[in-house]
């Protein structure tokens, strides 16, 4: 009989900005955002304490801006501001479905978000509020993957759930090779040896060195977030051992 008890008490969920795109090529599809919010509500009702980081690939990527000629630090700050827009969007969607939410930003902007304070963020989660973390680390040259790893460790998350378009890590591109094999479990060392791109380099090292497990799964299949929290085999678990 399937379990209904969550495997993890406190998680950090890393979403790509693409999760808010829906059928649009740019910006936010509010129905897609509500769909994500409803998946998050499912696990919130189970008592899971949730911190959430949303990327900004649907609006502006710092690296892309730098490649186009914008100063790299400036481009990264622009990307951070785009994550604040996404954070406010997901907050609005969650509160529309009666889920208490707080946006905390690494860049000070009192009119729209609280400043990130570790102990306050933990207290929000303990009180049953979802904490949406915006503006990355507050410094340029770091990705949202890295900020997700950093915040997960700061907030005492048991696992970093990385939501993607594919159901885990494969030995080759599953979009090209039908015979591609999904790994159910990998160690960080195996991922290095096999040259598998699990996440950005700095984030990967931070998780490995601090023994923070990472679970990669496909958010675009309805119900997968709940299954991931229940510990079902729908993705790839990456651990130190």
Q: What mean pLDDT is predicted for residues 4-30?
A: 94
Provide the pLDDT for residue 200.
Answer: 87
Alpha-helical regions (H) of 45-143: 62-67, 72-96, 118-126
Provide the pLDDT for residue 1.
Answer: 44
Task: Identify whether the C-beta of residue 83 lies closer than 8 Å to the C-beta of residue 144.
Answer: yes
Question: With bands split at pLDDT 50, 70 and 90, how would you rate the model's confidence at 196?
Answer: confident
**Helices first, then strands: H and E counts in the chain:** 8, 11
Strands 214-218 and 159-164: parallel
pTM above 0.85, yes or no: yes
Q: What mean pLDDT is predicted for residues 14-23?
A: 94
**What domains lie within the chain, and their CATH numbers?**
10-239 (3.40.1160.10)
Provide the pLDDT for residue 27.
Answer: 95
pLDDT above 90: residue 87: yes
Provide the pLDDT for residue 234.
Answer: 95
Q: What is the mean pLDDT of the chain?
A: 94
Neighbours of 170 (CB within 10 A): 16
Q: Which residues, 6+ apart, have CB-to-CB distance to 201 below 8 Å? A: none
- Residue that has been written with the tokens 């207290």 in this structure: 123
Provide the pLDDT for residue 3.
Answer: 61
């Amino acid at each position: 009989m399937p379990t209904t008890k969550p495997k993890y008490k406190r998680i950090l969920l890393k979403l790509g900005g693409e999760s808010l795109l829906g059928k649009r090529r740019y910006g936010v599809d509010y129905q897609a955002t509500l769909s994500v919010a409803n998946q998050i509500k499912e696990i919130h009702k189970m008592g899971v304490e949730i911190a959430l980081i949303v990327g900004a690939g649907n609006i502006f990527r710092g690296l892309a801006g730098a490649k186009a000629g914008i100063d790299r630090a400036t481009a990264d700050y622009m990307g951070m501001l785009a994550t604040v827009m996404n954070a406010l969007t997901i907050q609005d969607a969650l509160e529309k479905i009666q889920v208490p939410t707080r946006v905390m930003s690494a860049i000070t902007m009192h009119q729209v978000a609280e400043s990130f304070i570790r102990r306050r963020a933990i207290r929000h989660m303990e009180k049953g509020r979802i904490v949406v973390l915006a503006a990355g680390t507050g410094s340029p040259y770091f990705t949202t993957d890295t900020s997700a790893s950093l915040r997960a460790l700061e907030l005492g998350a048991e696992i970093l759930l990385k939501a993607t378009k594919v159901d885990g890590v494969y030995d080759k591109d599953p979009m090209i090779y039908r015979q591609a094999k999904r790994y159910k479990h990998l160690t960080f060392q195996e991922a290095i040896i096999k040259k598998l791109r699990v996440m950005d380099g700095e984030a990967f090292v931070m998780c490995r060195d601090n023994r923070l497990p990472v679970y990669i799964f496909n958010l675009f299949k309805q119900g997968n977030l709940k299954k991931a929290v229940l510990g079902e085999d729908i993705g790839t678990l990456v651990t130190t051992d």
